[in-house]
Chains A and B, each alone.
Chain A
């Protein structure tokens, strides 16, 4: 077993442990911090899999923007900071564990049946090549995604702003 194998198994273990902490911790802010940890581990894994640009995009977009948005959401919705027992549906826990374990079991069975232990080749990919493919072969989805982002921008503003003409205090 090479050193890189041991390192990547360690990374996968870290990924799963922090993922479990995201869904089990009783503190909202801790869950967001553990999500940062999960995403950072994923980024290191992507660098090991020779996807450097995707790793950087993950760090910039997720850790830089999405987590900050989540923290804003936590603060705005006045989710109680600090340990809080009201965060979970306790009567759902057993059923949820059964469902997620059976999904994991089915996936693992199918994956072990389908894929032999093919070795993942990790030779570096150039970001130049990625950009050229993105702007030639995938140029239509690329432009389409910009419209999706525009729609999300307009939709977010429309949903979140207080429209005084439509939402009069007396009518609600």
Chain B
């Protein structure tokens, strides 16, 4: 198969993730949308690795690193959401406006 449909599908997944971040009100759902964005970047890396048939497999190794960092990010993000929920009794990101000017 050719590279173009893969890249366009990854771009569409990225835009879907952006839409989710902007629209969702629950903080956990925003984290889910961030996972969609990271996933689209992984698709790009693996597709380019297959297109260039890289000897050093740079694309696959970078996508493994991205998956690792994403796991760490989800852990920290959910801990922050849990902390906010404990202090404010809600996970609604509209009400987290303490640092808003």
Q: Is B99 an interface residue (CB 8 A)?
A: no
Whether the Cβ atoms of B35 and A66 lie closer than 8 Å is yes
Convert A53-86 into 0s and 1s, putting 1 for each residue whose CB lies closer than 8 angstroms to a CB of B: 1100110011001100110111011110000001
Residues of chain A with a CB closer than 8 A to B28's CB: 28, 70, 73-74, 77, 79
Q: Is B98 an interface residue (CB 8 A)?
A: no
A151's nearest neighbour on chain B, judged by CB, is B72
Whether the Cβ atoms of A39 and B8 lie closer than 8 Å is no
B28's nearest neighbour on chain A, judged by CB, is A73
Of the candidates A65, A79, A111, A145, the one whose C-beta lies within 8 Å of that of B91 is A79
Main secondary structure, interface of A, reads helix
In the complex, number of A-B residue pairs with CB atoms less than 8 Å apart? 240
Residues of chain A with a CB closer than 8 A to B4's CB: 111-112, 115-117
Convert B58-95 into 0s and 1s, putting 1 for each residue whose CB lies closer than 8 angstroms to a CB of A: 00110111011111111110111111010100011010
Main secondary structure, interface of B, reads helix
Residues of chain A with a CB closer than 8 A to B65's CB: 141, 145
User: In the bound complex, what is the Cα–Cα distance between A15 and B20 (angstroms)?
Assistant: 15
A88's nearest neighbour on chain B, judged by CB, is B23
Whether the Cβ atoms of A96 and B22 lie closer than 8 Å is yes
Residues of chain B with a CB closer than 8 A to A69's CB: 74-75, 78
Not counting A16-B13, A38-B36, A156-B76, a sample of 8 additional A-B residue pairs whose C-beta atoms are within 8 angstroms of each other reads A16-B16, A28-B28, A32-B32, A51-B50, A100-B18, A103-B11, A104-B14, A119-B3
9 contacts between A and B (CB under 8 A): A16-B12, A23-B17, A28-B29, A45-B43, A58-B42, A77-B82, A92-B23, A112-B4, A123-B53
Interface residues in chain B, defined as those with a beta carbon under 8 Å from any beta carbon in chain A = 1-9, 11-20, 22-29, 31-33, 35-36, 39, 42-43, 46-47, 49-51, 53, 56-57, 60-61, 63-65, 67-76, 78-83, 85, 87, 91-92, 94
